[in-house]
């Protein structure tokens, strides 16, 4: 059951945080033309601000029409572990509507432990390769022990290489960092667009600082009231929903390798599951220069990666056809590498390291032992006959984390906050639509905008209805009518 949300923090700045709130950022040109970069200091531990600082990377692109400037617009792409600066420089700072970029300084801060902000470090590339290939559908005790050992090794390596950080990368701390940044930017209120996990970060901010909420867009919403187990089970069902949409689309094409035009989603899913079982016994060769083969774990990740965006479905179809008809696993391997942010030289971004560190600190583990996973398997397999077993076992990772969780499920009301816009996509694989409905109901000032469609998140993904509604809110503060739906 969800706990009550923590009380909002005092509006007056505590004296022991005054030096952080009063800092002036020293801006300089970034490596990416058109953007400015700076370093912001925050306390490593807000309970003991004198115990040491953490350096946070910040970037911005100034408003193109400064005379009409509304303030700063902070963006976060989610994860946890996604680089907000990378997102700003590759997309938001150039791809957001011109009207929005004209009137806002577009700003990003990499959350603590992520990318440019003292990143959590764990496994090197070679060991991460081995970790990503670990069988997550163990058939016997030996394979179960190997999976547990992989989780332990991952956690131990994070503890060895990032001991200073692991107890201080929670979402609450990252939200407090955002308020320090708000002050350093000179904004009275925070205007923010958060996607996926970024919605949890934004909602947490609203709960802590309701009177400092400006215009908050929470797109692809998470539900902070859920336990880790419930969250993982819901997400498993979300991937099944997305896969069924892919399956219906796949069989409309003559090159679908999982079934003909009359094949049902159940038949397509059964064929994919049978393919995974074959890979579990006999991995496929790939063109990888490091000699990696495509086993069940990497193939499953490759398919899941394509569920996030329906524009990736043709690529997935082609990759599956190559694997099934030509015994070439290269296409699925590349999809998996994109999910893990593995580069051509075999190095990994810290996405998955930060992801585990934040998730395992924010909520108690979904499962505490292999026996608990076995008991939970029926529910996960009911949620997704295709992905349930593997995702249930993957949910065991936090059981071996070296730092005890500091967070808990909680409902966030953010009483007194200005109007907030929550956006949910009906067939979102990673943040199921029910989460958006729940978050919108929890937040006292929220309105839900529904996108009837596929893929993860909605803003900037092709719906004129969604985009124009969000833009009006950001530019004019206009909230849409209750229960507005877009296609």
What does the DSSP assignment read for 203-257? HHHHHH-GGGEEEEEEES---TTS-HHHHHHHHHHHHHHHHHHHHHHHTTSTT-T
What pLDDT, on the 0 to 100 scale, is given for residue 7? 76
Across the range 194-198, mean pLDDT stands at 98
Residues 426 and 449: their CA atoms lie apart, in Å, by: 11
Task: Specify whether the CB–CB gap between 203 and 431 falls below 8 A.
Answer: no
Residues 171 and 169: their CA atoms lie apart, in Å, by: 7
Q: Is the pLDDT of residue 5 over 90?
A: no
What pLDDT, on the 0 to 100 scale, is given for residue 361? 98
Across the range 445-456, mean pLDDT stands at 98
For 281-329, write each residue's pLDDT tens digit: 999 999 999 999 999 999 999 999 999 999 999 999 999 999 999 999 9
Tell me the pLDDT of the chain averaged across its residues: 97
Q: Is the pLDDT of residue 1 over 60?
A: no
Q: Which residue has the higher pLDDT, 3 or 239?
A: 239
What pLDDT, on the 0 to 100 scale, is given for residue 4? 53
Q: Is the pLDDT of residue 334 over 60?
A: yes
- Asked about 467 being catalytic, the answer comes back as no
Given phi > 0 = left and psi -120 to 50 = alpha, else beta, which region is 16?
A: alpha
Residues 239 and 430: their CA atoms lie apart, in Å, by: 7
Q: Is the pLDDT of residue 16 over 80?
A: yes
Across the range 19-41, mean pLDDT stands at 97
Name the pairing type of β-strands 104-109 and 190-195.
unpaired
Which is the catalytic residue, given 110, 179, 223, 428?
Answer: 428
- Asked about 428 being catalytic, the answer comes back as yes
Q: Which domains occur in the chain, in start order? A: 3-109+167-226+409-486 (3.40.50.1820), 125-141+229-400 (no CATH)
**pLDDT interval class at 405 (50, 70, 90):** very high
For 317, half-sphere exposure in the C-beta direction (CA atoms, 13 angstrom radius) is 18
Percent of the chain's residues with pLDDT above 90: 97
Q: Is the pLDDT of residue 220 over 90?
A: yes
Across the range 174-182, mean pLDDT stands at 98
Percent of the chain's residues with pLDDT above 70: 99
What pLDDT, on the 0 to 100 scale, is given for residue 11? 87
Neighbouring C-beta atoms of residue 46, cutoff 10 Å? 19
pTM: 0.97
The distance in angstroms from the start CA to the end CA of the chain is: 34
Residues 222 and 80: their CA atoms lie apart, in Å, by: 12
- Asked about 471 being catalytic, the answer comes back as no
User: Of the candidates 9, 107, 111, 35, which has an alpha carbon nearest to the alpha carbon of residue 361?
Assistant: 111
Given phi > 0 = left and psi -120 to 50 = alpha, else beta, which region is 382?
A: alpha
Q: Is the pLDDT of residue 418 over 60?
A: yes
What pLDDT, on the 0 to 100 scale, is given for residue 2? 60
Task: Specify whether the CB–CB gap between 321 and 313 falls below 8 A.
Answer: no
For 343-361, write each residue's pLDDT tens digit: 999 999 999 999 999 999 9
Which is the catalytic residue, given 117, 157, 196, 322?
Answer: 196
Which is the catalytic residue, given 177, 362, 456, 467?
Answer: 456
Q: Is the pLDDT of residue 242 over 70?
A: yes
Across the range 126-132, mean pLDDT stands at 98
Q: Is the pLDDT of residue 6 over 70?
A: no
Across the range 188-211, mean pLDDT stands at 98
What pLDDT, on the 0 to 100 scale, is given for residue 58? 98
């Amino acid at each position: 059951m969800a706990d009550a949300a923590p009380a909002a923090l005092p509006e007056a700045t505590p004296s022991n945080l005054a030096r952080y709130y009063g800092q002036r950022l020293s801006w300089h040109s970034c490596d990416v033309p058109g953007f400015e970069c700076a370093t912001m200091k925050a306390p490593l531990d807000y309970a003991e601000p004198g115990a040491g600082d953490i350096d946070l990377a910040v970037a911005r692109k100034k408003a193109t029409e400064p005379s009409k400037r509304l303030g700063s617009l902070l963006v976060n792409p989610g994860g946890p572990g996604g680089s907000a600066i990378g997102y700003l420089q590759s997309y938001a700072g150039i791809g957001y509507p011109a009207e929005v970029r004209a009137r806002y300084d577009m700003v990003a801060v990499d959350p603590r432990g992520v990318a440019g902000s003292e990143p959590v470090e764990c496994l090197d590339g070679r060991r991460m390769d081995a970790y990503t290939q670990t069988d997550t559908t163990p058939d016997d005790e030996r394979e179960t022990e190997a999976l547990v050992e992989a989780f332990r090794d991952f956690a131990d390596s994070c503890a060895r290489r990032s001991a200073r950080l692991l107890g201080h990368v929670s979402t609450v701390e990252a939200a407090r960092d955002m308020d320090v940044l708000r002050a350093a930017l000179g904004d009275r209120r925070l205007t923010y667009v958060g996607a996926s996990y970024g919605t949890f970060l934004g909602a947490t901010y609203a709960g802590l600082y309701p009177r400092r909420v400006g215009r908050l867009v929470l797109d692809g919403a998470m539900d902070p009231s859920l336990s880790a187990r419930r969250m993982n089970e819901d997400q498993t069902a979300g991937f099944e929903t997305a896969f069924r949409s892919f399956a219906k689309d796949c069989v409309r094409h003559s090159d679908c390798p999982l079934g003909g035009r009359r094949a049902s989603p159940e038949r397509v899913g059964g064929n994919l599951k049978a393919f995974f079982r074959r890979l579990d016994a006999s991995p496929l060769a790939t063109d990888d220069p490091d000699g990696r083969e495509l086993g069940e774990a990497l193939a499953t990740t490759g398919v899941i990666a394509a569920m996030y965006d329906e524009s990736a479905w043709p690529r997935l179809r082609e990759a599956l056809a190559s694997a099934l008809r030509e015994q070439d696993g290269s296409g699925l391997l590349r999809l998996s590498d994109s999910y893990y942010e593995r580069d051509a030289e075999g190095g990994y971004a810290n996405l998955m390291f930060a992801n585990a560190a934040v998730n395992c600190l924010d909520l108690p583990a979904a499962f505490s032992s292999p026996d608990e996973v076995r008991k939970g398997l029926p529910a996960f397999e009911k949620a997704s006959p295709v992905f349930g077993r593997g995702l249930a076992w993957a949910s065991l990772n936090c059981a071996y984390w070296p730092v005890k969780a500091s967070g808990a499920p909680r409902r966030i009301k953010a009483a007194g906050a200005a109007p907030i816009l929550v956006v949910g996509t009906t067939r979102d694989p990673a943040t199921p639509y029910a989460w958006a409905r729940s978050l919108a109901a929890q937040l006292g000032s929220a309105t839900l905008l529904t996108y009837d469609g596929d893929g993860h998140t909605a803003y900037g993904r092709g719906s004129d209805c969604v985009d124009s509604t969000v833009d009006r809110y950001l530019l004019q503060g206009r909230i849409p009518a209750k229960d507005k739906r877009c296609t």
